Chains A and B, each alone.
Chain A
Amino acid sequence: MTRRTQSILVPLGAIASGMLVFGVFVAMLGVNPFEVYGSIWKAAYGSWYSWQNTLVRASPLLLCGLCTSMPARAGIIVIGNEGALVAGGLGAIGAGLSTASSPPLVSLACMALAAMLSGGVWIAMSVALQHYRGVSAVISGLLLNYLAIALMNQLIEGPMRDPSSLNTPATYPLSADHRLGFFSGTHVHVGLLFGLVACLIAWFLVDWTTFGFALKVSGGNVRAARLVGLPVGRLVVMAGFLGGACAGLAGMIEVAAVHGRANESLNAGYGYTGVLVAFLSRQSAVGIIVVSLLVGGLLASSGMLQRAHELPDAAITVLQGILFLFILLSDTVYSRWKFTGGRASAVAA
């Protein structure tokens, strides 16, 4: 079995097993699992309307998936996506509100840049901590998530708060023409394009440039990379920055396209789900596009599961958790299969 077929079959197997276990969970709640699968399909892909819902949710996932997959190529596991998204959202609203008198395109460009910078620095920090100081990026990233959320709460309840946002504290809103628009006749915002383009750029960067090759060498074997004279530290931190910039951009899209302001809903879990997306796609940028559509569809079906089957609102979170467990489990299967298909993988590598 070639490496390519494996990298498709193993995640598919994990997803199938995850769905199966979720079916058992659902059956225990007294609901027919096949009807639930049917509802997920209907709510995610059953109609053009449902597709739009899926695409809206896939859009931040594309970018948040890249946040984990870029540094993963350099051998570092990043799960601080939520923090980077929130930091990016805050950067974006800061830039957007302070350029409110500029032309919309200028303002949006400033927002995107500020978001990418904030998100990028956020992740680069935790990657640098691991590379130079030996602090696990998993731990620091996780802790930085809480920091970002606390910072956001402080800002939206304090200095940046719009006094008229009585119920849900929020910043001042962006004016309507300073927001990202929708594809005509749909409720899908153009932020989707950002995600798709970012995935294609990431794919090109990692698979077709010397930078990408150097990244993979550093990720594969740090000592070998140093021996051939690669600036490992810079490469790794750069990969972290690029990943974080993507998550930051997702924050900008949430602010500029979805909410029109920053509030606690920035912290809606897209960052965490992005980790799942990256692992499901086996850190492949093109894979992320497919997996985002899949996971975006699951997220879009959450309401339908409640409405049609009276399942608890956490049902989709449970499914995500199960899927993640199976993906981690499948990694062990992977390394075992490598022995039998070793020749093929060695050639492919």
Chain B
Amino acid sequence: MLGAMAAPVLAGATPSQRPVVMGFLYNGPKNDLGYNQSHADGRNMLRALPWVRAFDEASVPETVAAEESMRDMVHQDGAAAVFATSFGYFDPFTIDIARENPAVQFFHCGGLYIENKHPKNIGIYFGFIDEVEYLSGMLAGLSTRTGKLGFVAAKPIPQVLRNINSFTLGARTVNPHVTTKVVFTGDWVLPVREAEASSSLADQGYDVLTGHTGSPRVIVQMAERRGVFACGYQFDQSSMAPRGFLTGAQWAWGTVYVRIAEMIREGKSVTDGTIPRRLTGTLKDQFCKLSPYGASVTPQSRDRIAAAKAAILDGSLEIYRGPVRDNRGNIQVPAGKVLKIVDVELDKMDYLVEGVDGSANG
């Protein structure tokens, strides 16, 4: 009996049973109610797994400091996997450090990995949050009285344009007359400019505001102050607008982190291809989710969104279904064609769809 009990204890000393050590670095504070918090929140999900040892560093700038931080995680903490969550960490910092430490796996959020050029021990993960933006846009379309939606965005890069477009496509399915006005601020964290842009949009009669910045909390807050509706992004911002919050598209990185942790525990690795080089997921894969509805959302609206969500989950509703026109009248997705998560065309999106008032050049 004792011998039988001792056996697993001894087995516990084998390498595969050692804790999986995972390090995370974020570009900003862990409590920004936005992108960084969404990652920190995902990392916190790992606390439920006793065989994982996860740690993080916040406010690591996108400079050599990121490289130093990752190197420390490898050398001082023995990290088996390092997660570089900010876009600017990728080139050259993650690439260099991955080359320097071929036995460690590096995972980067949303980077543009080039086969045969970048080291094999880098994996990329991202989510198809466009689907959630679409639902959020539908609710905005159902809620607006003026038919004018305001979108405060950081930079006109494909990720942002995709969100503006899916939000607008969703809104126009419930009300074809809805338009979305885009204001670009120029950078990810510019709270003052975000607040000014939001306030000015409210002045002009835009009665649902949303955005894509590091954390749209300021946009949501300003919408509440000006008495208009708000949709969040990145993380749950409902606490910022108890009256006017509708919903929002938010990340669920915990799903990704837990899944990668499990794969590493099973001895899999991105280097030999047993962990996919590109790990992306949809609403159905729970890589992202809809924020809880605000108090002002009517039961009828909730039902419509629930129905659309069910259609996305069962695959009958595909958000980028042709014909999709851009706002200069050109056909971008021909009739009969559907853009799916795997289509690289999406990663290169450089137009704004019909119904968006703004320019894809910023």
Q: Do A and B come from one complex?
A: yes
Chain A residues in the interface with B (C-beta under 8 A): 42-43, 47, 49-50, 53, 167-168, 187, 258-259, 263-265, 268, 303-304, 306-308, 310, 312-313
Q: Are B76 and A50 in contact (CB under 8 A)?
A: yes
Give every chain B residue within 8 A of A263 (Cβ-Cβ): 63
Q: Are A168 and B58 in contact (CB under 8 A)?
A: no
- For the complex with contacts A167-B88, A310-B55, A313-B57, 9 further pairs of A-B residues with Cβ separation under 8 Å are A49-B75, A53-B68, A168-B62, A168-B63, A258-B64, A265-B64, A303-B57, A307-B23, A307-B72
Closest-by-CB residue of B relative to A307 is: B55
Given that A307-B57, A308-B55 are contacting pairs, would A167 and B62 also be in contact in the complex, using a CB cutoff of 8 Å? Answer: yes
Q: Are A307 and B56 in contact (CB under 8 A)?
A: yes
Say whether chain A's binding surface is mostly helix, strand, loop, or mixed: helix
Q: Are B76 and A43 in contact (CB under 8 A)?
A: yes
Closest-by-CB residue of B relative to A306 is: B57
B283 CB-CB contact with A under 8 Å:
no
Q: Pick the contact of B72 from A167, A264, A268, A304 — CB < 8 Å?
A: A304
Q: Considering the chains assembled together, what is the distance between the CA atoms of A168 and B63 in angstroms?
A: 8
Near A by CB (< 8 A), chain B positions 87-102 give 87-88
Q: Are A313 and B58 in contact (CB under 8 A)?
A: yes
Closest-by-CB residue of B relative to A57 is: B68
Give every chain B residue within 8 A of A47 (Cβ-Cβ): 76
Q: List 29 A-B contacts (CB under 8 A).
A: A42-B76, A47-B76, A53-B68, A53-B72, A167-B62, A167-B87, A167-B88, A168-B61, A168-B62, A187-B71, A258-B64, A263-B63, A264-B61, A265-B64, A268-B65, A303-B57, A303-B72, A303-B73, A304-B76, A306-B58, A307-B23, A307-B56, A307-B57, A307-B72, A307-B77, A308-B77, A310-B55, A313-B58, A313-B59
B322 CB-CB contact with A under 8 Å:
no
Given that A53-B72, A167-B87, A303-B72 are contacting pairs, would A259 and B63 also be in contact in the complex, using a CB cutoff of 8 Å? Answer: yes
Number of B positions contacting A (CB below 8 A): 22
Q: Whole-angstrom distance from the CB of B216 to the nearest CB of chain A?
A: 19
Q: Considering the chains assembled together, what is the distance between the CA atoms of A42 and B23 in angstroms?
A: 18
Q: Are B65 and A265 in contact (CB under 8 A)?
A: yes
Closest-by-CB residue of A relative to B87 is: A167
Closest-by-CB residue of A relative to B100 is: A187
Give every chain A residue within 8 A of B72 (Cβ-Cβ): 43, 53, 303-304, 307
Closest-by-CB residue of B relative to A259 is: B64
Give every chain B residue within 8 A of A258 (Cβ-Cβ): 64
Q: Considering the chains assembled together, what is the distance between the CA atoms of A50 and B55 in angstroms?
A: 18
Q: Are B61 and A265 in contact (CB under 8 A)?
A: yes
Q: Considering the chains assembled together, what is the distance between the CA atoms of A313 and B60 in angstroms?
A: 9
Q: Considering the chains assembled together, what is the distance between the CA atoms of A68 and B254 in angstroms?
A: 48
Near A by CB (< 8 A), chain B positions 40-94 give 55-59, 61-65, 68-69, 71-73, 75-77, 87-88
Q: Considering the chains assembled together, what is the distance between the CA atoms of A50 and B68 in angstroms?
A: 11
Query: Which of A43, A50, A263, A306 neighbours the largest number of chain B CB atoms within 10 Å of its CB?
Result: A306
Q: Whole-angstrom distance from the CB of A254 to the nearest CB of chain B?
A: 9
Q: Considering the chains assembled together, what is the distance between the CA atoms of A290 and B76 in angstroms?
A: 24
Q: Are B69 and A303 in contact (CB under 8 A)?
A: yes
Give every chain B residue within 8 A of A167 (Cβ-Cβ): 62, 87-88
Give every chain A residue within 8 A of B73 (Cβ-Cβ): 303, 307
Q: Whole-angstrom distance from the CB of B226 to the nearest CB of chain A?
A: 31
Give every chain B residue within 8 A of A307 (Cβ-Cβ): 23, 55-57, 72-73, 77
Q: Considering the chains assembled together, what is the distance between the CA atoms of A258 and B64 in angstroms?
A: 7
Q: Whole-angstrom distance from the CB of B41 to the nearest CB of chain A?
A: 14
Q: Considering the chains assembled together, what is the distance between the CA atoms of A53 and B67 in angstroms?
A: 12
B29 CB-CB contact with A under 8 Å:
yes
Query: Which of B63, B71, B73 neighbours the largest number of chain A CB atoms within 10 Å of its CB?
Result: B63
Q: Considering the chains assembled together, what is the distance between the CA atoms of A83 and B75 in angstroms?
A: 34
Q: Whole-angstrom distance from the CB of A230 to the nearest CB of chain B?
A: 45
Closest-by-CB residue of A relative to B69 is: A303
Give every chain A residue within 8 A of B59 (Cβ-Cβ): 313
Q: Whole-angstrom distance from the CB of A100 to the nearest CB of chain B?
A: 19
Give every chain B residue within 8 A of A50 (Cβ-Cβ): 76
Task: Convert B1-42 into 0s and 1s, putting 1 for each residue whose CB lies closer than 8 angstroms to a CB of A.
Answer: 000000000000000000000010000010000000000000
Q: Sorted from nearest, which 3 A-B pairs have the closest CB atoms?
A: A167-B88, A265-B63, A307-B55
